[in-house]
A and B are shown apart, each in its own frame.
Chain A
Amino acid sequence: MWIFILRRLAVLALALLVVSFLVFLIPYVGETDPVRALARARFGRLDLDAAAIEALRIELGMHRPLLVQYLDWLGNAVIGDFGNSYMSREPVIEQVWSALKVSIVLTLAALGFAFAVAVPCGSIAALRQGSAFDSIIKSLNQAFVAVPEYWLAPMSILVFALYLGWLPSAGWRGPESVILPALALSLRPMGYFTQVMRASMIDVLNSPHIVAAHSRGLSIRRTLIAHGLRNAMLPVITLFSVWMAGLLGGAVVIEVIFAVPGMGRLVYSAIVNGDLPVLQAGLVAIVTFAVLINTLTDLAYTVLNPVVRFNNAAA
């Protein structure tokens, strides 16, 4: 077990190393000179003379070879120093950390809700294949998957915030402000989760061990709860982790529309404003969490699926 965790941590470190190098290169692959971009952001002027730019370049240490600069940057990054934001002049790490906390809450709320709805709905749809309920769930899934967020988000603000006045329309203050963005964010994964849950439950219901459990006198409901759910949930959990990693930095539209100060909005505005340190730190944070979540999912899998547990123990 510990060997398994250690191995996963080694993979995590390796992935981060590769990503950090790519992220470090971002300022250098664009058409604009990073020093010029910084100067522009810092002084708000375009007509800087070449001598001043060179002076700044030396001051920032950007005249050194790329590899030396990378190691320097990496050394600072490891202790959490990604420099200061070009825009706010505040340490980047603090901005990223607070945005990350917001994103984790938002994503967990959205996916948790999607999961909580998908597991029972998918199971019932599987049990009653071809019924009216199954058809309704199927059409809803398709609608949920297809509806674009940039339409759904303003519509939900319109209905729940402006028309009904139940919930705040935007911002991030208190638990009630989580509900609307989380709901809007949850529909698409909910559609996918339900479809996968339904398909995997059908598979499980057709598996021989369900017949065997039934032959011992367990009612269909009991068989389903004791032997169906756990087996059928495994693929949904995989999907959950994929979505979790994706939404942490990828809920850009929802975060922008609802004015949620999360990772998606942070990285988006960093790109728009050319705020390179924020962009770099944001990307590193997103990748770190994506890999961490993958590891956690593997651990959850281990708990739910003894076959994996056994193989891990053997390794």
Chain B
Amino acid sequence: MLVNQTIMQHQARPEVCAPVLEVEHLTVGVPGVGAIINDLNLTIRRGEVVALVGESGSGKSMTARSLMRLMPSGISILNGSVRVCGDEVLSLSEEKFNEFRGARISMLFQQPHVMLDPTCTVGAQAAEALHVHRHLSAVEEHERVLQLFRDVGIPEPEERMKCYPHQMSGGMAQRVMIAAALSAEPDLLIADEPTTALDVTVQAQILQLLDRKRRESDLSILLITHDLSVVSAIADRVAVMYSGEIVEQGTTQEILRNPKHPYTQSLIHCALLEADETGQLYAIPGNPPELLSKVEGCRFRSRCQVAEKWGHPEICSRLAPPMVEHGGPGCCARCWIGAPNDMQVQAIKICQSDEEGHRDDC
């Protein structure tokens, strides 16, 4: 119920502006071994908040890191295209891309404390992006950081600028990180679970702050979270990620009220924390497939309870499901069950001929 109430406050925003972020066929993984993120497509318009949800290990954070080109060593972008306000960034040299980082795309992290250098004042760290990208005088820089600190709600900003990270609470440290991330006025903010490590009251404040910044400066936000209440509170659109793939995308209302993909349905079921008649909370059975592993058919098949009741579960185990558009604008799900009839018929034929082929072999 809580989820539904919050959605009601959202109004559809006009969708005329040019996309701030366009990701096409992004594939990230270990060269020669396999992919961690598979064929990811995502578009974020100006002033839009898109939530990327999924359980841990689904590749959400890796997606964020890949967009910033800050993957751990050994992992690289294998294929695809990422455009920021129309500019392709994957082909840029590291040096050139540094001009994007912090200036046009910024990032927020899960644990603000470990993300700040313990030996450096927070004021100095918040000024860094400005220093690198905006070349202001020392006085202007100080003034700007002061103003940013005030803006993100840090009390006594002048004193706080001289503080070290360990002297601040988690919420304050995250505000510093927000000030640092927004200092050079980026187009896109990638927020990787920005409230997960904070307690609930602080969570709400940080979300309000992000929402306000979005309204004030037309900031686009890619919000990575596993918390559906956060999604319903702030996101315009949602992309659901499972095992390195986006399995469903759509408006927040559509996804939360009328999810098409069985995984999304299970996820929402989990979030409602409803106990069944035996008093047990619902949990999705099984575990997601291992990273880098190759799975035939749908990657959710082994945990999917809907496929069992469906007429043709053999297709799900055999063929990768197509991304099928349905409902509202930009709404789509990667599932055989919602696929058009002719596609299903074709898939059934392929499966049958496969089986006959197997029989002939024997």
Residues of A within 8 A of B (CB): 207-209, 211-220, 222, 226-227, 230-231, 304-307, 310
Contacts and interface: CB of A to CB of B under 8 A. Distances in A.
B177 interface: yes
B170 to A, nearest CB: 14
B155 interface: no
B68 interface: yes
Interface in B183-202: 184
A207 B114 contact: yes
Interface residues of B, number: 33
Nearest to A209: B117
B114 A218 contact: no
Chief secondary structure at chain A's binding surface? helix
Nearest to A215: B107
A93 to B, nearest CB: 42
B30 interface: no
Contacts of B204: none
Nearest to B68: A215
Given A215-B102, A216-B180, A222-B132, A307 B117 contact: no
B117 A231 contact: yes
Contact of A216 (B94, B132, B164): B132
Interface of B: 68, 70, 94-95, 98-103, 106-107, 109, 111, 114-120, 125, 128-129, 132-133, 164, 166-167, 177, 180-181, 184
A264 B167 CA distance: 45
Given A209-B114, A306-B164, A307-B166, A216 B119 contact: no
A226 B94 CA distance: 19
B133 A217 contact: yes
B119 A211 contact: no
Contacts of B133: 217
B132 A208 contact: no
Contacts of B167: 310
A226 B109 contact: no
A310 B121 CA distance: 13
21 contacts: A207-B114, A208-B114, A208-B115, A212-B116, A213-B125, A214-B70, A215-B70, A215-B102, A215-B107, A216-B101, A216-B132, A217-B133, A217-B184, A218-B132, A219-B98, A226-B117, A226-B120, A230-B120, A231-B117, A231-B118, A306-B166
A249 to B, nearest CB: 33
Top 10 A-B pairs, shortest CB-CB distance: A217-B102, A216-B102, A306-B164, A216-B129, A217-B101, A212-B115, A215-B107, A227-B117, A209-B117, A208-B114
Contacts of B103: 217
A306 B118 contact: yes
A213 B114 CA distance: 12
Contacts of A231: 117-119
A310 B133 CA distance: 32
Given A207-B114, A220-B94, 17 more contacts: A208-B111, A209-B116, A212-B116, A214-B70, A216-B102, A216-B128, A216-B129, A217-B98, A217-B101, A217-B103, A218-B98, A219-B98, A226-B117, A231-B118, A306-B119, A310-B164, A310-B167
